[in-house]
């Protein structure tokens, strides 16, 4: 019972904010409210993050459009920011706000905002906190090398900030720590970590799964950020310290990602890796997500700051060849025109998120019709076996799935159970279809083993039982005849 409570509290703050809305609003209405609030927070966070280097809405919009275009074109480990209402979106919103206050030297506000980022999403908030701490200690490294005792003294002087961070982060951090250190047998913990890193979330966690072009793309992006930073330090000496802060934070994310690559690099099968147990125990903490997001974010800020600088050759000789005071309006119009074009390009690029279902239109309509039938014609407590490529079934049908490939738990026992259910279905299909036919006895066995009430199938044309509903793409079979108690 305690474990189940802890699992439900992982995103405690997020559920407290939006869970009650579902009692009197639909899921769609709740999602709209959550997205609007998330985008408002992100917009405010973006303003605070970019204001020190990019004064004015035109420049901030240009950097934002450039960032969105970069995210549409290339991605390193699957991290996203705009596209849904999740706890991490709010965490990044508070995190961006914190990076803005950190550039201004307001440590207490930074501690409070980073704590709120942790409260909404412990992983995102903790990685951002580590990056800020890296910047803090890196900029004082010479002092600590010369006088090592200054390090503990610095921590003592920051006791207020530490207490503020702890107090604000506890609602999200405490459940995560309880789950992380919950007593588990060694096999379950290892199996959960292995399945998470090398099976379900390998596209996020296993660096050997990332294509070469992603490494090259992000390498080029980081070099562009480095070159832009070097030019900014010379062109804008008054804001050099703020640019250095952002670059140090980007460097911290690169260092974290590099450690992740070293942990995951291998020249054999995963099971043959040396130190496999502790390496996957660290890889499961998403070491690439901060570098994945901050690289295009900070690159877009530096590039925009450089392009809109008065000393930049294009602005100085082509767009604005007059005196400095006469250049404000042309620069603003130029920035507005650029961000509008970039935003339009990023909006209409045919990348995968335009169709999250990954289904052709006709198949998607058939699937939504199936979900609607389940929602209208079955009891609320029924359990349904869905196809392996099912999409948003819980959202549209509002019924429980026996297992979903996409919907994988985050705790080790849950991951092991999730894998066991997938394996059970796979073995049943293999054994029962040996004669190219699913008779009533075999479907009864499936119902008994899974306790499921309905089966949705795409290609099960050889079932002896008749479907209760069908369309050109799917069939629904009832596995049980008695209602649930």
Cα–Cα nearest to 114, from 136, 143, 85: 136
Task: Give the pairing of strands 454-457 and 383-385.
Answer: parallel
CB-CB contact of 17 with 33 (8 Å): no
Contacts of 402 (CB under 8 A, 6+ apart): 383, 384, 385, 386, 421, 425, 450, 452
Taking residues 325-345, report their average pLDDT: 68
Largest CA distance in the chain: 87
**482 band by pLDDT with thresholds 50, 70 and 90:** low
pLDDT digit string (tens) for 168-202? 999 999 988 888 888 888 999 999 999 999 999 99
Beta bridge partners of 6: none
**484 band by pLDDT with thresholds 50, 70 and 90:** low
| Dist CA 121 CA 123 (whole Å) | 6
**331 band by pLDDT with thresholds 50, 70 and 90:** low
CB-CB contact of 412 with 189 (8 Å): yes
| DSSP-based three-state secondary structure for 454 | strand
Q: How many CB atoms lie within 10 A of CB 100?
A: 24
CA 232 to chain centre: 30
* pLDDT reported for residue 321: 44
pTM of the model: 0.90
- pLDDT: is 135 or 26 the higher one? 135
Q: How many CB atoms lie within 10 A of CB 456?
A: 24
CB-CB contact of 115 with 167 (8 Å): yes
pLDDT digit string (tens) for 399-431? 999 999 888 888 889 999 999 999 999 999 888
Given a cut of 50, is residue 1 above it in pLDDT?
Answer: no
| Dist CA 51 CA 59 (whole Å) | 9
Question: What are the start-end ranges of the E strands in 85-216?
Answer: none
| Dist CA 264 CA 2 (whole Å) | 33
- pLDDT: is 265 or 348 the higher one? 265
| Dist CA 388 CA 455 (whole Å) | 12
pLDDT digit string (tens) for 109-125? 999 999 999 999 999 99
């Amino acid at each position: 019972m305690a474990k189940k409570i802890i699992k439900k509290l992982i995103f405690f703050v997020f559920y407290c904010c939006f869970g009650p809305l579902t009692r009197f609003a639909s899921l769609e209405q709740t999602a709209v409210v959550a997205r609007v609030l998330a985008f408002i927070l992100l917009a405010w966070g973006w303003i605070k993050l970019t204001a020190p280097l990019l004064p004015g809405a035109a420049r901030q919009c240009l950097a934002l459009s450039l960032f969105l275009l970069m995210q549409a074109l290339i991605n390193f480990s699957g991290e996203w920011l705009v596209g849904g209402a999740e706890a991490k979106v709010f965490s990044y919103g508070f995190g961006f706000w914190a990076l803005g206050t950190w550039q201004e030297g307001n440590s207490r506000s930074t501690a409070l905002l980073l704590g709120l980022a942790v409260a909404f999403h412990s992983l995102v908030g903790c990685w951002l906190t580590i990056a800020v701490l890296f910047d803090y200690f890196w900029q004082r490294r010479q002092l600590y090398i010369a006088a090592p005792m200054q390090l503990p003294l610095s921590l003592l002087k920051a006791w207020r900030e530490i207490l503020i961070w702890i107090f604000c982060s506890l609602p999200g951090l405490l459940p995560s720590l309880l789950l992380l250190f919950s007593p588990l047998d060694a096999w379950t913990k290892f199996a959960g970590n292995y399945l998470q890193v090398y099976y379900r979330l390998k596209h996020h966690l296993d660096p050997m799964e990332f294509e070469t072009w992603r490494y090259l793309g992000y390498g080029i992006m980081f070099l562009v950020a480095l070159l832009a930073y070097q030019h900014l330090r010379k062109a804008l000496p008054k804001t050099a310290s703020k640019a250095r802060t952002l670059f140090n934070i980007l460097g911290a994310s690169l260092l974290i990602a590099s450690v992740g690559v070293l942990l995951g690099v291998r020249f054999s099968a995963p099971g043959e890796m040396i130190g496999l147990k502790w390496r996957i125990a660290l890889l499961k903490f998403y070491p690439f997500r901060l570098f994945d997001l901050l690289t295009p974010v900070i690159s877009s800020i530096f590039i925009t700051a450089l392009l809109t600088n008065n000393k930049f050759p294009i602005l100085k000789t082509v767009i604005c060849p007059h005196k400095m005071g006469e250049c404000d309006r042309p620069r603003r119009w130029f920035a507005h025109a650029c961000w509008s074009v970039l935003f339009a390009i990023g909006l209409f690029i045919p990348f995968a998120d335009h169709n999250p279902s990954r289904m052709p239109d006709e198949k998607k309509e058939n699937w939504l019709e199936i979900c609607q039938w389940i929602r209208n014609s079955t009891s609320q407590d029924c359990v349904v076996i869905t196809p392996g490529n099912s999409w948003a079934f819980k959202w549209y049908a509002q019924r429980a799935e026996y297992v979903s490939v996409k919907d994988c738990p985050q705790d080790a026992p849950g991951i092991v159970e999730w894998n066991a259910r997938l394996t059970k279905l796979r073995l049943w299909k293999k054994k029962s279809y040996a004669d190219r036919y699913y008779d009533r006895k075999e479907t009864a066995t499936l119902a008994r083993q899974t306790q499921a009430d309905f089966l949705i199938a795409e290609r099960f044309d050889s079932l002896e039982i008749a479907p209760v509903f069908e369309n050109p793409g799917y069939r629904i079979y009832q596995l049980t005849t008695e209602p649930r108690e």
